[in-house]
Amino acid sequence: MPEHYRADHVGSFLRPAELLAARSNTGTTPEELQALENLHIERVVARQRELGFGFVTDGELRRRNFMSDFTDAVDGFDLGDAVARTWSGQGAEQSAA
């Protein structure tokens, strides 16, 4: 009899390099950014469905980072000298900005 394990994903997926580059490019229009977000959200949703997940998430790919909703809503944050974070292991070529 096969064993079943329950797992829930809550939170952000790593942002693709293409999406990070578009966000840092001041020439990217809001429409271009939304189209790129849509493309990558469709990709992560399709992958979750392919894996048989009963519920899927957009991976919070429309957010700049895991805390942007908070820092956008509260005045006084200076992220100008924030320490860059990188991840090791699978997907290490992607920054977690």
What SS3 string covers 34-84?
A: HHHHHHHHHHHHHHHHHCCCCCCCCCCCCCCCCCHHHHHHCCCCCCCCCCC
Give the model's pLDDT for residue 70. Answer: 85
Any idea which residue has 């895991």 for tokens?
66
Q: How far apart are CA 4 and CA 78, in angstroms?
A: 46
The residues near 39 (Cβ < 8 Å, ≥ 6 apart) are none
The amino acid sitting at 85 is R
97: confidence class by pLDDT, cuts 50, 70, 90: very low
pTM of the shown model:
0.68
For 17-48, what is each residue's pLDDT tens digit? 999 999 999 999 999 999 999 999 999 999 99
Task: Name the more confident of 52 and 9.
Answer: 52
